[in-house]
Amino acid sequence: MWNTLSRMWKTGLLTEPLPVLQPSLDAPSPELDHLQSQLLAVLGRALCIRHVDAGSCNGCELEIQALHNPYYNLEGAGIQFVASPRHADLLLVTGPVSVNMEEALRRTYDAVPAPKLVMAIGDCGACGGIFGASYASRGSVANVLPVNTTVTGCPPTPTAILRGILETVRPALAKA
Amino acid sequence: MTLQLSDFLERHRRPLAGNLPATRISADREQWLQLAAWLRESGARLLTLWGADDRDRDGCFRICAVYLLTEGVLLVEHAMKTTEATASASYPGLAAIFPVAQRMQRAVYDLLGISAEQADGSEADRRGWLRHGGWPETCFPLRRDANGSRQHPNVSAPYPFVTVEGSGVHEIAVGPVHAGTIEPGHFRFSVVGEKMLRLEARLGYTHKGVAKLFETMPQSSGHRLAARISGDTAVAFSWAYCTALESLTATVCPPRATLLRALALEHERLANHLGDLGALGNDAGFAFGLTHFSRLKEDLLRCNTVAFGARYLLDYVLPGGVAVDLPAEAPARLLGLYSELEQSVANLRSIYDEHAGLQDRFRGTGRLQQPIAEKLGALGLVARASGIACDLRVDHPWPSYDWVATKCITQSTGDVAARVQIRFDEAFESLRLCRAFLQDIPVGPIQAPVPAAAPYRLGLGVIESWRGPVLIALEAGPDGSIRRCHAHDPSWQNWPLIEYAVIGDIVPDFPLINKSFNLSYSGQDG
């Protein structure tokens, strides 16, 4: 126990500031410290994300998992990954949509309560990537579901994914 | 019989291009089965099985098996003449001799329509493994005359799981979409209360048609697809592809590039082991472990950007060498990282070892007994945790492992605790190897030109990834094209083992057991 406490004490806080968003014309660039309170004001709670691997090579999953490490500390920013699509505001989809995952992806989307946001992650999710469309793959996520935003990269860095999440919710926040 | 077979083998086996000592032999129906039985007796393991449509060349379908022997790898091929009218073929199945062949035989049927006959004449398992209803039953996408880019509507078909009957037995269906950030697959548990009586996995959800896609690519860019078969094993797969191509074209990869590949492979092993150690702590209710190990993993990934130009090395290994040279400032940075990791991992190991609650969850959970692991042909760290000493870096060291004398790390208990200890020990061994590589890094070029391989020649690349041996079998086509490329992930061998490891444990321990194996869905599904 002493060892554990001592390691915690010595490690200290490692969390880095959130990435800065590009200013856009249709919405004022929010102060990111302000984001958490905005999320709370609009949603009344944390932003809840449900991840679906629709056929990825598992590279994107590794970078999504990295968002939980102490440097990015996603939950500290008021963004939470949830276990059920019924609890989610945003669907984070990776991979080209494999033919074998198409139905499961549609069903997961249907289970998310409206209003819902969809983000496609990685080169494959954004445009089909190296796999494209074939007998086994439907290509990009947009070929199967309405997609709000995409984040390219193979795999995209945690910072790019985080920025993408913020960009996805910003119009919703601005509208509200 | 045995004498005749070994004599037959000695007389007819021909050398095969590859990074390990490799030979090939053609077998007729009878020899195909006899060889398998004889190889099983002599302790060989079935590494992979694939089919090929060569009807355009000689009117045959081929089934190929690669065995791992003490002296290297052996490819056994069996050609099946087929008639224009039926366009079907069958071969004697290997599942009775090597149970691991069963799912691979189902996959071969789904893609090529050539079926395995059961040795005892019993009914074969005809349930689709990779084909879930996404393409018609009469369409076999890997045949030469099949159009790989044609889309078919999904027609979902029922998949009868094996049922367990008895008083109080019920089923729990999980997946394909899981509760965490992991890959998709379906698990069907038959339970009494919370005790697992039986688990049956159904995989294939992430099948992306990798084999067919390879055939549309030039040899010079196949490594990019190989790296994306399983993203967490990108270096191993792309290296296996490149070394297969290089051995086909007699290309000598420059020593500096070879060493950088090995350094990248050890970084991949470290990153995965650190991530798993954290996740295993977390799955046993110790979130502290995840926080600290994920921080160390992030430190390593950030150093990867300095040393290799990217966090994950999906485009680092390429035919003839590597993509970027190690910058001058990298070695000092890496050595600093290694010292920090060594200290921190040792510290965290003592915390894990002394944590009674954690050890209570780890020990005795998900036990895979050595005889079952042997019988089912376990590979990689799962095999080593059950007392089977097998590591290609030790058994058949290829450059640059041929001068560092890697230590083969084993444990005997085969439980989650053993798979945790293996990861700790291998992380330290990887750090030692990384230091050794950095100390003796030669100067020189990092790329060599790679000519096109002569058509219809076959080369093998086998690399011990963090998960176990990955294999690429590459057959060249004319003008620098790929005629056939088969990729194999060790998850094929290890997925069925989980079904044994969980028997008698409780459902809440399944995520922990599954994580301790940490197998690839995408690598298996292809």
Cα angle A27, A29, A33 (rounded to 5 degrees) comes to 130
What is the distance, to the nearest Å, from the Cα of residue A141 to the centroid of all Cα atoms in its chain?
14
Domain B2-117, CATH class in plain words: alpha beta
Among B152, B178, B181, the residue to mutate for chain A (most A Cβ within 10 A):
B181
The percent of residues in chain B predicted with pLDDT above 70, rounded, is 99
CA dihedral in degrees (B359, B361, B363, B366; nearest 10)? -150
Architecture of domain B210-318+329-525: Orthogonal Bundle (1.10)
d(CA B125, CA B352): 43
d(CA B422, CA B386): 10
pLDDT of residue B123: 76
d(CA B317, CA B313): 8
Whether the ω angle into residue B176 lies within 30 degrees of 0, i.e. cis, is yes
Would an 8 Å CB–CB cutoff place A101 in contact with chain B? Answer: yes
Strand partners, B476: B482
A32-175 folds as Rossmann fold (3.40.50)
For B221, the closest chain A residue by CA position comes to: A130
List, in sequence order, every beta strand (DSSP E) within A24-154: 47-53, 79-81, 90-94, 117-121, 149-151
Question: Looking at the partner chain, which of A51, A96, A157 has a beta carbon nearest the beta carbon of B208?
Answer: A96
Please provide the DSSP assignment of A137-152 as one string. BB-SGGGTS--SEEE-
Residue B233: C-alpha distances to residues B236, B313, B466 (Å): 6, 9, 7
pLDDT of residue A88: 95
pLDDT tens column, B28-61: 999 999 999 999 999 999 999 999 999 999 999 9
pLDDT of residue B445: 97
Identity of the amino acid at B340: E
Domain map (residue ranges) of chain A: 32-175
Cα angle A35, A41, A43 (rounded to 5 degrees) comes to 95
CB neighbour list of residue B132: distance below 8 Å, 6 or more residues apart: A99, A100, B156, B157, B159, B204, B205
- Give B-chain residues touching A8 at CB under 8 angstroms: 288
For B179, the closest chain A residue by CA position comes to: A83
d(CA B187, CA B440): 47
pLDDT of residue B10: 87
Look at A167 and B200; give whichever has higher pLDDT: B200
What is the distance, to the nearest Å, from the Cα of residue B128 to the centroid of all Cα atoms in its chain?
21
Q: What mean pLDDT is reported for chain A?
A: 87
Would an 8 Å CB–CB cutoff place A139 in contact with chain B? Answer: no
- Give B-chain residues touching A101 at CB under 8 angstroms: 176, 184, 205-206
User: Are the CB atoms for B374 and B388 separated by under 8 Å?
Assistant: yes
Would an 8 Å CB–CB cutoff place A122 in contact with chain B? Answer: no
Q: Which letter does DSSP use for residue B515 in this model?
A: H
Q: Is the dihedral of CA B484, B64, B51, A54 positive or negative?
A: negative
Question: Looking at the partner chain, which of A71, A85, A98 has a beta carbon nearest the beta carbon of B206?
Answer: A98
pLDDT of residue A38: 64
Q: CB-side exposure of B360: number of CA atoms within 13 Å?
A: 5
Q: What mean pLDDT is reported for chain B?
A: 95
Q: Work out whether strand B321-322 and strand B317-318 pair parallel, antiparallel, or are unpaired.
A: antiparallel
**Mean pLDDT to the nearest integer, A147-161:** 95
Inter-chain residue contact A100 with B134, CB threshold 8 Å: yes
Q: Is the pLDDT reported for residue B2 higher than 80?
A: no
pLDDT tens column, B116-130: 998 777 777 889 999
User: Are the CB atoms for B244 and B472 separated by under 8 Å?
Assistant: yes
B87: left (phi over 0), alpha (psi -120 to 50) or beta: left
Identity of the amino acid at A82: V
A129: left (phi over 0), alpha (psi -120 to 50) or beta: left
For A108, the closest chain B residue by CA position comes to: B177
> ipTM for the complex?
0.94
User: Are the CB atoms for A16 and A157 separated by under 8 Å?
Assistant: no
Inter-chain residue contact B213 with A62, CB threshold 8 Å: no
pLDDT of residue A27: 44
Domain map (residue ranges) of chain B: 2-117, 210-318+329-525
Q: How confident is the model at residue A26 (pLDDT cuts 50, 70, 90)?
A: very low
pLDDT of residue A35: 62
Whole-number CA gyration radius for chain A: 17
d(CA A39, CA A34): 9
pLDDT of residue A31: 46
Please provide the DSSP assignment of B147-177 as one string. -TT-----------PPP--STTEEEEEE-SS
User: Are the CB atoms for B466 and B268 separated by under 8 Å?
Assistant: yes
pLDDT of residue A20: 63
Would an 8 Å CB–CB cutoff place A3 in contact with chain B? Answer: yes
- Give B-chain residues touching A71 at CB under 8 angstroms: 295, 298
Q: How confident is the model at residue A42 (pLDDT cuts 50, 70, 90)?
A: low
Inter-chain residue contact B135 with A131, CB threshold 8 Å: no
B214: left (phi over 0), alpha (psi -120 to 50) or beta: alpha
**Mean pLDDT to the nearest integer, A89-102:** 96
Q: Is the dihedral of CA B24, B25, B26, B29 positive or negative?
A: negative
**Token pair belonging to B79:** 């050609």
- Give A-chain residues touching B287 at CB under 8 angstroms: none
**Mean pLDDT to the nearest integer, B486-503:** 97
